[in-house]
Amino acid sequence: MVAGRPSAVNSSTATILRSVQVNLRETWWIRDVEIPTRVVLAPMAGVSVQAFRRQGRRFGAGLVCSEMVSCAGIEHRNERTLGYLRVARDEHPLAIQIFGSEPRVMADAARMVEAAGADLVDINFGCPVRKVTKTGAGATLLDDPARAQAVVEAVASAVSVPVSVKMRRGLENGSRACLTVGPQLVEAGAATLTLHPRSARQMYTGEADHSLTAELVSLVDVPVIASGDVISRAKAQAVLATTGAAAVMVGRGAQGNPWALREMVDGDAAAPTREEVAAELILFIRETVRELGERRASGFLKKFYGWYLGRGRFPRPFKQELVQLETTEEVVTRLLAAAPGSAEIVERLEAELPDPADEILLDQMPISIYGGG
């Protein structure tokens, strides 16, 4: 289902009047995949681990996305890369994002992603980071429409699940490449497009120009997801109302702040208590350790302490104290001491988690998928 064509909005009053009509808990579809809310949790490198995605689903994200996975890493059966393909029962619907520039290799990676249990295969044509673009992948493909089309066509032909594409407006400031390339990608087989209307050169500076999102919606007959600067319910509703997009994608606003997702979807703006914050962080720590192991998780998690404990929730010295601790168990102990009431909440949250045995693990996949004997 695609939201209607956008119309021009010339005043903030008109925007507000129209935005209140948008229901973010409305179901929509990407081909045959039902998405229960109009909020999508963004794929973010170094952030979107399984624990992050599962938390996002609990707080109202209708669709969650993995961080980008290298198709070359999948092709070479890199152990860490394959670890990104762990899928839990409570993540669905889930998109696993892959990046690369060779159609055959991307198609092979997409087959692996489908075998892992993803509901969608997402292709990254938006990453602006040099180590990705220098390989011809990410946002660079917006300057090579023929190759971009070939990648999408190869992936769409290789899998039965829908294919989505996330892209920027183009490489350079002021580029409108997305409006040319986007319809071509749909023709090649993309079932949905996500547009972050900043240029690759902008990285994350300046403002996202959602007038481009509105134009893209008018050019394609698949759902468009609007990404960029969506940090509140009011902003989400305004973007949906003024662009005709089917959903909004939330990224940095949800880092250490899943309550932002709840506020967007349900309008529940109640600030979490210290106990709730500590409990969610403790659960996140434990689930991340289970996923990554203590050694990797202890370093990975440090940035999350500031994200969770900021916004006036805990004193700044407390966050700095946690970063200095050597093990995650020490961090959990300090959190429980600082917010004793969080222990009961953690116990309840852990009781509601599905059995880890329900996960699709790599050793359960067909041997032919990943080159076994």
What pLDDT is stored for residue 130 in this prediction? 83
**275 versus 14: which is more confidently predicted?**
275
pLDDT tier, 360 (very low <50, low <70, confident <90, very high otherwise): low
Residue ranges with strand state E in the chain:
28-30, 33-35, 39-41, 63-65, 69-70, 94-99, 120-125, 163-170, 192-199, 224-227, 247-250
Distance (Å, whole) CA 352 – CA 359 = 15
What pLDDT is stored for residue 370 in this prediction? 30
What pLDDT is stored for residue 73 in this prediction? 84
What pLDDT is stored for residue 372 in this prediction? 26
Mean pLDDT, range 251-276, rounded to an integer: 95
Model confidence at 9: pLDDT above 80:
no
Cα-Cα-Cα-Cα torsion 148, 368, 72, 115, nearest 10 degrees, comes to: 60
Residues taking part in catalysis: 127
pLDDT tier, 155 (very low <50, low <70, confident <90, very high otherwise): very high
pLDDT tier, 13 (very low <50, low <70, confident <90, very high otherwise): very low
**81 versus 267: which is more confidently predicted?**
267
Domain ranges of the chain: 12-266, 274-358
Distance (Å, whole) CA 98 – CA 49 = 14
Q: What percent of the chain has pLDDT over 70?
A: 90
pTM more than 0.85:
yes
- H or E stretch covering 156: helix 145-158
User: 193: helix, coil or strand?
Assistant: strand
DSSP-derived secondary structure for 246-289: SEEEE-GGGTT-THHHHHHHH---PPPPHHHHHHHHHHHHHHHH
What pLDDT is stored for residue 145 in this prediction? 96
Nearest to 245 by CA among 62, 39, 57: 39
14-23, 34-43, 180-189: least confidently modelled range: 14-23
What pLDDT is stored for residue 74 in this prediction? 86
Q: What distances in angstroms separate CA 168 from CA 66, 104, 200, 212, 335, one per listed residue? A: 18, 23, 7, 10, 39
What pLDDT is stored for residue 20 in this prediction? 53
33-37, 281-285, 287-291, 361-365: least confidently modelled range: 361-365
Model confidence at 15: pLDDT above 80:
no
Distance (Å, whole) CA 22 – CA 234 = 10
> What CATH class has 12-266?
alpha beta
